[in-house]
Amino acid sequence: MRYTLLTVWLVGSLFPVTLPAQSLSPSQLVARAYDNQNGAASMTTVSMQVIRPTWTRAMSFTSWSKNRDLGLMRITAPAKDKGVAFLKIKSEGWNWLPTIERVVKISPAQMAQSWMGSDFTNEDVLKEASIINDYTHTLLGEEPVDGVVCYRIEAIPKPNAPVVWGKVLLWIGKADIIQRKAEYRDEDGALVNTLFYRNVRPLGGRTIPTTWEMVPARKTGQKSVVTIHSADFSARQPDSFFSQQTLRVSQKHEPTS
């Protein structure tokens, strides 16, 4: 456990300064892109629009993450869902339902389910770092996305990895190692979802994509758009912040540093 954390810390803190992008392996590129997006720890305020041909729904939430395997998210609007919260510790997830004041464990099958009715799954939201840990990565070549030259990387799940996808294709900016696009494919290789990372701009001291669009391949007129409004990468919650204690209660002064 300690060694894993130490390794993660080393990967996260040493590679960005010591290794130029050209000498990174595909797996290191994926890890670096992830860390460029998330930092070692972050606190973000986010809104999401779920867009369907005949309706749209909006929601807002605050999200904390640390060291790839700790995450906490609390919904702030709409009123109907306000206070609903999610906790991730490694591969386990919990859901706080304020109406019945209960913590409910999320089963592996529920991980593949839509997150709050959007085109993101619980797994996309809670187990984001799984793209580093649960897949093997191969560099397929280079390809531009929205005019930016990108590495095109194929990610295939490791045997017995607890993931839902058959294959994931990633496009990572060659110059800035920022993720620009991802394609999620099923076991037959058919395209299920495409995630576009857009509006790359400085926020909270880092340059990150601030708009994420998840577009399902087989459903026309349907997508979910996540917009990051503010980000604080200097937030240094202790690991103990990611606990059932925090999950249950939103404090007036939620610790942010």
Partner 1 sequence: MNRVLWSVWVMASLISLTVQAQTDSLAMDTTARTPPKAKTPVFAVSGYVKYLNTISIPGLSDEWTFDNQVHNRLKLRYQPIAGLTVSIAMRNRLFFGQSVSRNPLFVAQTTRTLDYVNLGGVLFREQSVLLHSVFDRANVDFQHGHWQVTVGKQRVNWGKSYVWNPNDIFNAYSFFDFDYEERPGTDAGLIRRYLGTQSSIEVVGSLGKRGGRGTVAALYKFNRQGTDGQVLIGKMDSSWVVGAGWAGQLRDAGLKGEVSYFGPSGNSPGTFVGDVSVDYTMPNTLTFRLEGLVNSHPLRADALAFLTQPVTARTLINNSVSVFGAVGYEITPLVVANLNSIWNIDDRSYYLNPSVTINLKDNTELLVTAQVLSGRTGSLFSGIGSFVFTRLKWSF
Interacting residues with partner 1 (CB under 8 A): 45, 47, 49-50, 52, 55, 57-60, 62, 76-80, 82, 89, 91-92, 99-102, 104-105, 107-110, 112-114, 117-118, 164, 227, 229-230, 239-240, 242-245, 249-254
CB-nearer residue toward partner 1: 52 or 236: 52
CB of 65 to partner 1, least distance (A): 15
Nearer to partner 1, 145 or 166 (CB): 166
Instruction: Output the smallest distance, CB 142 to partner 1, in A.
Output: 33
Which CB, 30 or 41, lies closer to partner 1?
A: 41
Residue 107 is given by DSSP the state P
Helix intervals (H) in 69-172 = 108-111, 122-126, 130-133
DSSP-based three-state secondary structure for 6: helix
Closest distance to partner 1 from the beta carbon of 30 (Å): 25
Judged by beta carbon, residue 174 or residue 198, the one nearer partner 1 is 198
The least CB distance from residue 99 to partner 1, in Å, is: 5
Are the C-beta atoms of residues 147 and 180 closer than 8 Å to each other? no
Please give the Cα distance from 130 to 212 (Å, whole number). 18
Q: In this structure, what are the phi and psi dihedrals at residue 197, rounded to the nearest 5 degrees?
A: -105, 115
As measured in angstroms, the least distance from the Cβ of 55 to partner 1 is 7
SS3 label, residue 243: coil
Shorter beta-carbon distance to partner 1: residue 23 or 240: 240
CB-nearer residue toward partner 1: 52 or 174:
52
Exposure of 23 by Cβ count < 10 A (0-12 exposed, 13-18 middle, 19+ buried)? exposed
Q: Which residues lie below 8 Å from residue 234, measured CB to CB, with a gap of 6+? A: 204, 205, 257
Shortest spacing between CB 183 and partner 1, in angstroms? 18
Asked if 59 and 116 touch (Cβ cutoff 8 Å), the reply is yes
